[in-house]
Amino acid sequence: MEKLILSEDEIVRICDRLGKEIDNKLEENANGVPILLGVMNGALPFMYELVKHINTPCQLDTIKVSSYDGTSTTGEVKVQKGPDHSLEGKDVVIIEDIIDTGITMHFLKEFVQNTYHPKHLYVCILIKRESKEVKFDELADFTGLRTDEQRYIVGFGFDYYGLFRNRPYVFVPSIKDIKEWGAILDEDKKLTEQWKKEHSSK
């Protein structure tokens, strides 16, 4: 680990604060049962911790979009899975792990609003990166942490080619970490290819 961004305790404290803020906002509206819409896969650990601190009765749902290839954004956003619930006339809170360039969230807000027609649409994020490469200065209604850290981060939903979303904290990996993870991925690729060869002949 090169640098710790958020510890387990800090994440819990942030979720407790955000939960109270979301409760206060939802209590103002009373438009039926609100929906928390987690952005797969990265925001799911955040959403599942956050919901523990929200007292308002709500439903959980997910949407899946892609704009990253490995560790960098492609700049093109695609929807891979839509929500399972009807969002029409509902209060909807998009739960996302990070706003970086703003490209994904700008697209997502417009897509959800224009496609599913919620009554109110809010955004809750764990981390707002003060990025020099911001394309859309998307502001969240509820923000956990603002940071100037520009390096790639891992843990608590943030991944390195799919690895280590399950770490309960957020950190900047070291060069040593990256090398070790590369070896894990290479070994996994070999085992997968071996499995395919063994089963393709059957």
Q: What is the CATH number of the domain that holds 121?
A: 3.40.50.2020
Q: Which of 16, 100, 148, 177 is catalytic?
A: 100
Q: Report CA torsion sign: 73, 77, 83, 86.
A: positive
For the segment 9-61, what is each residue's pLDDT rounded down to a tens digit?
A: 999 999 999 999 999 999 887 778 999 999 999 999 999 999 999 999 999 99
b vs e for 115-143, b when ≥16 Cβ sit within 10 Å of the residue's Cβ? ebebebbbbbbbbbbebeeeeeebebbbb
Is residue 100 flagged as an active site residue?
A: yes
Domain total of the chain? 1
State residue 18's pLDDT score.
98
For the segment 103-128, what is each residue's pLDDT rounded down to a tens digit?
A: 889 999 999 999 999 999 999 999 99
Distance of alpha carbon 194 from alpha carbon 98, whole angstroms: 37
Q: Give residue 75's pLDDT band: very low, low, confident or very high (50, 70, 90).
A: low
Q: Is the pTM of this model over 0.85?
A: yes
Segments forming the whole domain that contains residue 131: 3-200
Q: How many helices (H) and strands (E) does the chain have?
A: 4, 8
